């Protein structure tokens, strides 16, 4: 791995391979994925649905659904490998070390508990010996951090608007002072204005609290607005990885190029939209060698025989493609 990747890494993922066991075999959701996140850095993971982005998030916290297994690889967080860790020790990492803002602000909260109590619960579970007065005070402070009136802690989730629920979820994720925050599609299902407010809040928090972040999204524009580094995933593999500016300015992998073109920019001339023809592959039997070869416009013979490895093309920009 190139030296720039490992510098000051808070989280280092090496060859992570997560599969789901189903009756017909193993679904190869994530294969041989490596990346790192430094202190105070934001990494964006982009790709279509089914590319394995959410599985990575669940693997990092070891909260995979039934049937999901980490079959290989290391997740080194703050010096310890999380993969072989006992469940009891893992619980100490969750929320205090790594926490997550789940997708779907509308449904991620329990409708029969007050918002303040739900945030307080996260503190109570993850910290020993806190008094209820302490919790109350900290919940008020958390709500203030995300821009919600602290008196609203006594409201139920249905009394909150969509944007406020999203903010409350962020407050909940911050409850135990984590060092790494994962956002799983934090902007989708929100209106543009509320989405922009949420993204701005996340950026502010990152700068103010020195948080590291992993943003998972299918929307490249959201990643462009919030992240320093980008990993593009296709069918369970990272196909391109590097700093945001060089990936957006100079996308190398044909899949990245297609994905960027598929997003109409609000700036610039009116154009006919372009798309990536074909469908994402079946992960039970992924195509051999390069998994993108059936949809690739530049496909060559070698793409069907040999798997391309991630190679550094220029400083801080790696790509897995035989074209380079």
1 or 196: CB nearest other proteins: 196
Tell me the closest approach of the beta carbon of residue 60 to other proteins, in angstroms.
23
Q: In 3D, which of 245, 202, 199 has the Cα closest to residue 219?
A: 199
Burial of 113 (0-12, 13-18, 19+ CB in 10 A): middle
Contact window for other proteins (CB under 8 A) among 8-16, 29-37, 115-123, 260-268: 260-268
Interactions with other proteins, residue window 110-129 (CB under 8 A): none
The CA-atom distances, in angstroms, between 112 and each of 91, 125, 158, 174 are 25, 19, 9, 22
| Per-residue interface string for the shown chain with other proteins, residues 137-166, x marking contact by CB under 8 A | ------------------------xxx---
Helices (H), the chain: 3-6, 53-61, 87-93, 115-126, 132-145, 162-173, 192-209, 220-226, 244-249, 254-262, 301-305
Number of residues that bind other proteins (CB under 8 A): 47
Short-list 234, 235, 258, 229, CA closest to 318:
229
Helix axes 132-145, 115-126, angle to 10 degrees: 120
For other proteins, the closer of residues 178 and 258 by Cβ is 258
Among the listed residues 93, 173, 174, 199, the single contact to other proteins using CB under 8 A: 199
40 lies in the binding site for other proteins (CB under 8 A): no
CB count within 10 Å of CB 311 equals 11
Q: Which residues pair with 163 in a beta bridge?
A: none
Q: Does 221 bind other proteins (CB under 8 A)?
A: yes
CA distance 138 to 155: 17
Tokens of 203: 């950026």
191 binds other proteins (CB under 8 A): yes
The answer to the question of residue 219 lying near other proteins (CB under 8 A) is: yes
Nearest distance in Å: CB 318, other proteins:
17
Residue of the chain from 8, 125, 262, 309 that contacts other proteins (CB under 8 A) = 262
Q: Does 244 bind other proteins (CB under 8 A)?
A: yes
Residues of this chain that interact with other proteins (CB under 8 A) are 48-49, 161-163, 187, 191-197, 199-200, 203, 218-222, 224-227, 244-245, 248, 258-260, 262-267, 270-277, 279-280
């Amino acid at each position: 791995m190139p030296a720039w990747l490992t510098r000051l890494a808070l989280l280092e993922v090496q060859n992570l391979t997560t599969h789901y066991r189903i009756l017909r075999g193993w679904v190869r959701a994530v294969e041989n994925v490596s990346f790192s996140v430094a202190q105070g850095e934001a990494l964006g993971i982009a790709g279509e649905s089914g590319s394995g982005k959410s599985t990575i998030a669940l693997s990092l916290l070891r909260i995979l659904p039934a049937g999901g297994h980490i079959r290989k690889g290391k997740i080194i967080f703050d010096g310890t490998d999380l993969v072989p860790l006992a469940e009891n020790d893992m619980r100490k990492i969750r929320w205090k070390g790594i926490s997550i803002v789940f997708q779907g602000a509308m449904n991620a909260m329990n409708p029969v508990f007050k918002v303040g109590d739900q945030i307080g619960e996260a503190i109570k579970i993850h910290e020993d010996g806190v008094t209820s007065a302490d919790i109350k005070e900290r919940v008020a402070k958390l709500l203030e951090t995300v821009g919600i009136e602290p008196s609203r802690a006594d409201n139920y989730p249905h009394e909150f608007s969509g944007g406020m629920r999203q903010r409350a979820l962020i407050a909940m994720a911050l409850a135990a002072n984590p060092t790494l925050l994962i956002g799983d599609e934090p902007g989708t299902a929100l209106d543009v204005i509320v989405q922009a407010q949420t993204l701005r809040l996340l950026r502010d928090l990152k700068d103010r609290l020195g948080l590291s972040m992993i943003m998972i999204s299918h929307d490249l524009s959201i990643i462009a607005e919030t992240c320093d580094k980008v990993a593009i995933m296709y069918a369970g593999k990272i196909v391109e990885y590097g700093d945001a500016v060089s990936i957006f300015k100079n996308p190398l992998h044909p899949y990245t190029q297609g994905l960027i073109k598929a997003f109409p920019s609000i700036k610039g001339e009116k154009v006919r939209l372009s798309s990536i023809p074909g469908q994402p592959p079946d992960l039970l039997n992924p195509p051999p060698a390069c998994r993108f070869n059936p949809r690739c416009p530049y496909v060559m013979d070698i793409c069907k025989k040999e798997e391309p490895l991630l190679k550094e093309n220029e400083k801080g920009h790696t790509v897995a493609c035989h074209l380079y």
